[in-house]
Structure 1
Amino acid sequence: MNNRLHVLFRGSLTSCNYGCHYCPFALRRETVEEQRQDRAGLQAFVDWIKAQEHREWGILFTPWGEALVRSWYREAMVELSHLPHVSRVACQTNLSCSLKWLRNANRKALALWVSFHPTQCTLERFVNRIKRLTDDGIRLSVGAVGIREHFGLLEELRNALPSEIYFWINAHKSDGQSYTEDEVKFLKGLDPLVEWNLHRYPSLGEGCHAGETSFTVDGRGDMRRCHFIDSVVGNIADKGWEAALRERKCSNDTCGCHIGYVNLKKLGLSRTYGEGLLERIPVDRSPPPTPAVRKYLTRSKDS
Structure 2
Amino acid sequence: MNLAILYRGPLASCNYDCPYCPFAKRRDPPELLRADRAALARFAGWVAATGDVRLSVLFTPWGEGLTRNWYRDAMVSLSHLPHVERVVIQTNLAARVDWLADADPRAVALWSTYHPGQVDRDRFLSRCARLTELGVRYSVGVVGLPEHLAEARALRAALPAEVYLWVNAAEGRRYDAAEEATWTELDPLFGYSARPHVSLDRPCHAGETAISVRGDGTVRRCHFIDEPIGNLYDGSWRTALRPRPCGNAVCDCHIGYVHLKPLGLRDVFAGGVLERIPAAWPPVRRPVPLAAPERRPPAVPAPGSPPA
**TM superposition score normalised by structure 2:** 0.90
**Is 1:108 matched with 2:83?**
no
1:16-165 equivalent positions in 2, closer than 5 A: 16-165=14-163
Unaligned residue ranges in structure 2 (runs of 5+): 284-308
How far apart are the structure 2 equivalents of 1:130 and 1:239? 39
SS at match of 1:230: coil
Contact 1:110 1:138 in 2 (8 A): yes
SS at match of 2:221: strand
Report deviation, 1:99.
1.4
Contact 1:145 1:171 in 2 (8 A): yes
Map Cα deviations across residues 144-196 of structure 1 (whole Å, 9 max, x no partner): 1011111011000000001110000001132x4x2232221211110011001
Map Cα deviations across residues 1-32 of structure 1 (whole Å, 9 max, x no partner): xx110000000001000111121111111111
**Is 1:9 matched with 2:11?**
no
Number of the residue aligned with 2:182: 186
How far apart are the structure 2 equivalents of 1:158 and 1:145? 14
Contact 1:112 1:140 in 2 (8 A): yes
Report deviation, 1:269.
0.5
Report deviation, 1:226.
0.3
Number of the residue aligned with 2:292: none
1:205-284 equivalent positions in 2, closer than 5 A: 205-284=201-280
How big is the alpha-carbon RMSD for the aligned residues of Structure 1 and Structure 2? 1.2
**Aligned sequence identity (%):** 50
Radius of gyration: which is bigger?
Answer: 2
Contact 1:192 1:286 in 2 (8 A): no
SS at match of 1:68: coil
Letter in 2 for 1:246: R
How far apart are the structure 2 equivalents of 1:180 and 1:230? 32
How far apart are the structure 1 equivalents of 2:132 and 2:67? 20
Contact 1:272 1:285 in 2 (8 A): no
Report deviation, 1:222.
0.3
Q: 95-104 or 110-119, which moves further after superposition? A: 95-104
Q: Greater helix share, 1 or 2?
A: 1
Number of the residue aligned with 1:297: none
How far apart are the structure 1 equivalents of 2:38 and 2:133? 34
Letter in 2 for 1:183: E
Letter in 2 for 1:233: I
Q: Which runs of 4+ in 1 moved over 3 A?
A: none
SS at match of 1:192: coil
Number of the residue aligned with 1:290: none
How far apart are the structure 2 equivalents of 1:68 and 1:10? 13
Contact 1:192 1:285 in 2 (8 A): no
How far apart are the structure 1 equivalents of 2:277 and 2:182? 21
Map Cα deviations across residues 60-108 of structure 1 (whole Å, 9 max, x no partner): 0001010010000000000100000001000000000121211110100
SS at match of 1:276: coil
Letter in 2 for 1:254: V
How far apart are the structure 2 equivalents of 1:50 and 1:204? 35
SS at match of 1:270: helix
Map Cα deviations across residues 197-228 of structure 1 (whole Å, 9 max, x no partner): 11111111000000000001111000000000
SS at match of 1:145: strand
Letter in 1 for 2:79: S
Number of the residue aligned with 2:304: none
